[in-house]
Amino acid sequence: MLFRYSIDMQLIKNVYAQVNIADPGVNPAAKFGTIASFTNIAIPLMMVVAGFFTLSMLLMGAYKYLTSEGNPEKISKAQSTMVYAVIGLFLVVASFIFTKIIGYIFKVDMPL
């Protein structure tokens, strides 16, 4: 029984030895060779998501403002929704600028 186990382990080692984990077709995480390549994909994606989120929050705040019927409490909630959406967009843009500054300081190639 012990002999059979060692033969099975040898077969498994031979199969895994033939897989190239550096190939992006086999391992999708292989295309992120450096932190710079990861940030070049992640940062623009997050900025697009943040843009859509900001647009949706501004539209929701505008809808709340239009349907407030002159109620001061509802108007203030709608205005705060729109203000927070703009502040969130500002934070996203500031984080992008901060990332660019850090890349410049450490001389990381970031083509964005």
> Cβ of 78: how many Cβ atoms within 10 Å?
20
Number of domains in the chain: 2
Same domain, 5 and 45: no
Same domain, 84 and 101: yes
pLDDT tens-digit series, residues 14-73 = 555 566 667 777 677 777 777 777 777 888 888 899 999 999 999 999 999 999 999 999
d(CA 92, CA 43): 10
Same domain, 3 and 26: yes
Question: Containing domain of residue 19, as a range?
Answer: 1-31
Same domain, 46 and 92: yes
Same domain, 96 and 41: yes
Same domain, 25 and 39: no
d(CA 69, CA 112): 45
Q: What is the pTM of this model?
A: 0.64
Same domain, 45 and 98: yes
